[in-house]
Structure 1
Amino acid sequence: MPDKTYKIIEVVGVSDKSIHEAVRNAIAKARQTLRNIDWFEVGQVRGAVGKGGEIDFQVEVRIGFRLEGDAVS
């Protein structure tokens, strides 16, 4: 069995267009500083309504990435 160990972080993606874009924004931002991202999980979905009726979608995204290094024996 392959030896894989993951670290999980939580980020909140935001978009004024859609929930899907909010998830993509969260992952794109995380990819700027993380390597080996293998999976994600969507948690809470919420939003904000501005005074003019504009909507911002906010999505909590858990991102799993493989830790680097030699296998633990």
Structure 2
Amino acid sequence: MVIKVIEIMASSSKSWEDAAQNALNEASKSIRGIKSIYIHETSATVEDGKIAQYRVNCKISFEVQ
């Protein structure tokens, strides 16, 4: 078994969890056999004293056939 890891950045206006789900949803469109997602880093943009965008930097691993 060979496992490959890719790095993806994603964002959401709702939460870091939603941003991670967005990353997984996009990766799932072209990658099969996803085994795990590792949230490497989180950040956010701020507008008018409030969080405007939640951002995650994810590592997604999947089996290579």
TM-score after normalising by structure 2:
0.90
Shift >4 Å, 4+ stretches? 51-54
Contiguous gaps of at least 5 residues in structure 1: 69-73
Matched residue, 1:71: none
1:12 alignment partner, one of 9, 12, 16 = 9
Identity between Structure 1 and Structure 2 (%): 26
1:63 alignment partner, one of 57, 60, 63 = 60
Number of residues of Structure 1 aligned to a counterpart in Structure 2 = 65
TM-score after normalising by structure 1:
0.81
Contiguous gaps of at least 5 residues in structure 2: none
More strand per residue: 2
Secondary structure of the corresponding residue to residue 19 of structure 2: helix
Residue identity opposite 2:64 in structure 1: L
For the 8 Å contact 2:44–2:51, the answer to whether it is kept is: no
Greater C-alpha radius of gyration? 1
